[in-house]
Amino acid sequence: MTQTITALYDNRQDAQNALSKLVAAGIPESSVRLVQGREGSTAQSTGAYDHTRDEGGFWGSLKDLFLPEEDRYSYSEGLNRGGTMLTVSADDSKIRAVADILEQTNAVDLDERESSWRQEGWSGYTAGATGAEAAGGIPATGASAGTTGLHAAGGASSAGSYASGVSGVTGAAHDAQVGSRETIPVVEERLNVGKRVTEQGRVRLRSYAVETPVNEQVSLREETVHVDRQRVDRPVTAADEALFAEKTIEATERVEEAVVSKDARVVEEVGLRKDATQHTETITDKVRRTEVEVEDERGNVTRTGTGGTTTDKR
């Protein structure tokens, strides 16, 4: 189902920005309409807009939007003061995204702006007034008293729920049919807090061999055999008679050599140990919910079927 949302901007640049974002979000440009206000006027202008002298101007341009009468007066006054009105039609599935875009692009808070205008002398729309009693002298016939403007062609309840949180955004309203039942869903967000595991980094141990030069000193003993000859001249004695027999004398040279051996010793141990700790973290966020306000303007007539919070605007 197609819904229609209307927003008012103080300047055309903001409205064009909203148009660009809507098109980027998948809204056809043909579904968006811009109505430029009076050139040279400002939002602080105090001159009230006379609808009787501009039936084919701003007032006439709003007739095909099916807006509530009081909203037409407000938008006409905004256009008269130099504002720009943007109207967008979109499917139900995109209404929330459209409302968010309008809110993000500085749409005017129409309730606050109307209050400011009234302080400047603007009479605005008066429920039940006729002729010049309604602002600008236009008869206020056919308008529902107290309608806030949260209504869209083809689905009032959906448009109201999506547009209610957007400043200056108004849908088009229609009267409920006899025997039919229309509802505005009350939606609330719930905060769901879960947990997930994420990696914060790794610690890796890797062993490898390196060589380091070492020096050691050792004392080595060496033996050397020398042959000495000594000349003598003496007579042979009886003891020397045996010298004529064969005789052998020998000596062995010995030296010490360095002997190298290596043994491995464990001198240190490096390991990994993982500990786990727990802490309590407070999650702070905001959740949204819709509120439904009942405005009963039926006077003192006793009727049944009105429940919930009722605001009496008598």
d(Cα 177, Cα 156) in Å, to the nearest integer? 12
Asked if residue 282 belongs to a domain, the reply is no
The reply to whether the predicted model has a pTM over 0.85 is: no
Instruction: Please tell me the total number of residues recorded for the chain in this structure.
Output: 314
Phi, psi torsion values for 69, nearest 5 degrees: -60, -45
Asked if residue 101 belongs to a domain, the reply is yes
What pLDDT shows up at residue 2? Answer: 80
Asked if residue 34 belongs to a domain, the reply is yes
Query: Which amino acid, residue 36?
Result: Q
CA angle 59, 63, 65 (to 5 degrees): 120
Asked if residue 268 belongs to a domain, the reply is no
d(Cα 241, Cα 160) in Å, to the nearest integer? 149
Asked if residue 120 belongs to a domain, the reply is yes
* Inter-residue contact 75 to 114 (CB < 8 Å): no
Q: How many domains does the chain have?
A: 1
* Inter-residue contact 86 to 5 (CB < 8 Å): no
Asked if residue 233 belongs to a domain, the reply is no
What pLDDT shows up at residue 38? Answer: 75
Asked if residue 33 belongs to a domain, the reply is yes
What is the SS3 string spanning 230-251? CCCCCCCCHHHHHHHCCCCCCC
What pLDDT shows up at residue 73? Answer: 80
What pLDDT shows up at residue 213? Answer: 93
The mean pLDDT values, 10 residues at a time, for the chain of 314 residues are 87 91 91 81 44 48 63 83 90 88 90 88 67 38 32 38 45 59 85 87 90 92 92 80 79 92 91 92 90 79 45 41
Asked if residue 259 belongs to a domain, the reply is no
d(Cα 148, Cα 150) in Å, to the nearest integer? 6
Query: Which domain, by its residues, includes 165?
Result: 2-193
